[in-house]
Amino acid sequence: MMMHMDIGYKSLNKFGEELCGDKVEIVRTEDSDILVLSDGLGSGVKANILSSLTSKIIITMLKEGAKVDEAVETIAQTLPICKVRHVAYSTFSILQLYHDGRAYLVEFDNPACVMIRGGEIIEPPFEIREIAGKTVRESRFDIAIGDMFTLISDGVIHAGVGAILNLGWGWENVSNYCLDLARRDLSVPRAVSSLIQVIDNFYMSKPGDDSTVLMAKVVPQQVVNLFSGPPKDKAKDEELVRDWMRGNAKRVVCGGTSANIAGRVLHREVRTSLDFTDPLIPPIAYMQGVDLVTEGVLTINRTLEILRQIKGSEVDPLSLSALDADNGAAKLARMLLEECTDLHLFIGKAINPAHQNPNLPMDLSIKMRLLNELADLMRAMGKNVKISVY
C-alpha cells in the first residue's frame, strides 16, 4: 500500500514578540519527506535568525543528499555568535520519512519526538553520538500506516510554568495528550489545532516562550477525482467522464452542467437537494456512485476561502469549525483536507458565458482561475495534484 505523510504545524510567538524564535522547514522529495524544527537561543529577532539559518541549512543540505554530520558541521561554522551569551546556539529536530517505509530521526536539545503506533506511545531505538561538538540522539526505524509523530519545541513542555502549572505541562502530559488525539483518529490539522490551543490556554494567551507543534501522520493514499466544466468539444464528454470514473477514488463533480453531463453519460439521475442550509452556498445534489455533487463557481470559491483560513490561522478554535458546516463548500473542503492525499482535476475548457466575457483567454475565466488556485493551494498543503484538461 502506498504511503503518504500528512503534515501540519502551528507556532505561538512569545508574548510581545513580532517574530517567532522557532522555525519549521518541510521539503517533499521523490523518495522522502524531510521535516526540521529548530529553536533559536532566546526569543525575538535573534532567535528567529538562529533558527531560520539552522533549519534552512539542514533542509537544503539533506535535500541535496548531504549527511547530517556535514549539515551540523556547517551550522557550527555559520551561526552568528550572540554578543550577550557569547554562544551560537540553536536546537533542532530532524525527521525524514521515506516513502518505502523507513524513518530517520535526529534530535539535538529539543524535547523528544512523540511517536504513537497502534494506540500506544513508542520510543524508537536510538543511539547517542557527538557531531561537531554537539551530542545528538539518532534513530533509524521502520514506519507503518497510522503512525503519528509530533515534534515540539521546549515552549510546549514549559506551558503554564509558574502560573496555572507550577512546573509546566511536561513531556509526559504532552505525549499523553497526543495519544488521546491519535486514539480519536483526528486529522493532522485538527490535532495540531487542538494541541496548540491547549498550550495557549496554559499560557493564558500570553506565551512565556515560543512554542511550536510539528506533526506528521502516515496515511494510505487517498485519491479524489474532481470534475468541473464541460469539455470545449462536446464529442469529448464521454471520454472525460470515463476518465473521471476510472480507478479507486472519491468522485466529486462541481457545476450543474458538469453534473448533467456525468448523469447523461452514466445514465444516472441527478437529484438536487431541497435543503438550503446556507443562503450564500447553492444546495448540493446526489448521483449514484458519486461522493459529492455541488454547484460550480460559488462553491469552489467558498471552498478556497475555508482552506486558506485553515492554512493561515494561528490559534483560532473557530478556524476549523467552517469544515463542519452543512453545505457543499464545507463538505468539499473537508474531503480535500482530511480525506485526500492526491487530487486529480478533470477540467473542461468550455467557458460559461454567464460567468464572464467568452472572448477572454481561457486562463482569465473565473472557473479556470479558481481551479488553478485550488491546485496551488492543495500543493502548498502537501497534496499531490494532477490536472487533465479537455
pLDDT the model gives residue 357: 57
Q: What is the pLDDT of residues 27-50, one digit of tens each?
A: 999 899 999 999 998 889 989 999
| Average of per-residue pLDDT values in the chain | 91
Provide the residue range defining the domain that includes 89.
3-219
Q: How many CB atoms lie within 10 A of CB 207?
A: 24
Looking at residue 31, the DSSP 8-state letter turns out to be: S
Percent with pLDDT over 70 in the chain: 93
Burial-class residue 243 by CB neighbours within 10 Å (0-12, 13-18, 19+): middle
As a whole number of angstroms, the distance between CA 292 and CA 296 comes to: 12
What is the enclosing helix (H) or strand (E) of 97? strand 90-98
Highest mean pLDDT among 5-9, 321-325, 356-360: 5-9
What is the pLDDT averaged over residues 10-28? 95
Sorted by sequence, the CB contacts under 8 Å of residue 30 that are 6+ apart come out as none
Residue 81 in this model has a pLDDT that exceeds 50: yes
Do 132 and 191 fall into the same domain?
A: yes
Amino acid, single-letter form, for residue 376? D
268 & 145 share domain = no
Domain holding 96: CATH number? 3.60.40.10
| C-alpha span between 262 and 240 (Å, rounded) | 9
27 with 173, same domain? yes
Whether residue 242 sits in one domain with residue 209: no
Number of other residues whose CB lies within 10 A of the CB of residue 204: 12
Higher pLDDT, 270 or 79: 270
Regarding whether 114 and 10 lie in a shared domain, the answer is yes
pLDDT at 275: 83
pLDDT top residue among 170 and 166: 170
- Check residue 364 and give its pLDDT: 44
Reply yes or no on whether the pLDDT at 228 is more than 60. yes
279 confidence band (pLDDT: 50, 70, 90): confident
Q: Looking at the predicted structure, is the pLDDT value of residue 251 above 80?
A: yes
355 pLDDT exceeds 70? Answer: no
Tell me: do 201 and 256 sit in the same domain: no
Residues 46 and 24 in one domain: yes
Show the beta-strand stretches assigned E in the chain: 3-12, 22-28, 32-40, 90-98, 102-108, 114-117, 120-122, 126-131, 134-142, 148-152, 211-220, 223-228, 250-254, 271-272, 285-286, 292-294, 342-347, 384-389
Residue 154 pLDDT more than 80? yes
CA atoms within 13 A on the CB side of 287: 27
Q: What would the mean pLDDT of 78-82 be, rounded to a whole number?
A: 75
126 shares a domain with 168: yes
Domain boundary among the residues 172, 187, 219 is at 219
Listed residues 149, 184, 219: the one ending a domain: 219
Residue, of 132 and 317, whose pLDDT is higher: 132
Mean pLDDT of 148-177: 93
Give residue 1's pLDDT band: very low, low, confident or very high (50, 70, 90): low
pLDDT, one tens digit per residue, over 315-353 is 566 778 889 999 999 999 999 999 999 999 999 988 766
**Which has the higher per-residue pLDDT, 368 or 105?**
105
Q: Pull the grid cell for residue 377.
A: 493551494
- Same domain for 322 and 199: no
Integer Cα distance of 299 and 348 in angstroms? 17
Provide the percentage of residues in the chain whose pLDDT is more than 90: 78
The model's confidence at residue 362, banded by pLDDT at 50, 70 and 90, is: very low
Number of domains in the chain: 2
Average pLDDT of the residues in 13-31 = 94
Read off the pLDDT of each residue in 186-207 and give the average, rounded to a whole number: 94
User: Which tens digits make up the pLDDT trace of 305-320?
Assistant: 999 988 876 556 677 8
| Strand ranges of the sheet holding 342-347, from the earlier edge strand across to the other edge | 271-272, 285-286, 292-294, 250-254, 223-228, 342-347, 384-389
Which whole-number Å values give the CA distances from 243 to 223, 261, 344, 371, 381, in the listed order? 14, 13, 10, 18, 25
Residue 354's pLDDT band, with cuts at 50, 70 and 90, is low
Q: What does the pLDDT read at residue 344?
A: 98
What nine digits make up the cell of 251?
468522485
In total, the chain counts a number of residues equal to 390
Tell me the C-alpha distance between 27 and 31, whole Å: 11
- C-alpha cell read off for 276: 438550503
Residues 37 and 146 in one domain: yes
Q: What integer is the mean pLDDT of 357-386?
A: 82
List Cβ neighbours of 369 (8 Å cut-off, separation of 6 or more): 363
Of 197, 219, 241, the last residue of a domain is: 219
Q: Which residue has better confidence, 204 or 355?
A: 204
Residues 189 and 259 in one domain: no
Do 271 and 368 belong together in one domain?
Answer: yes
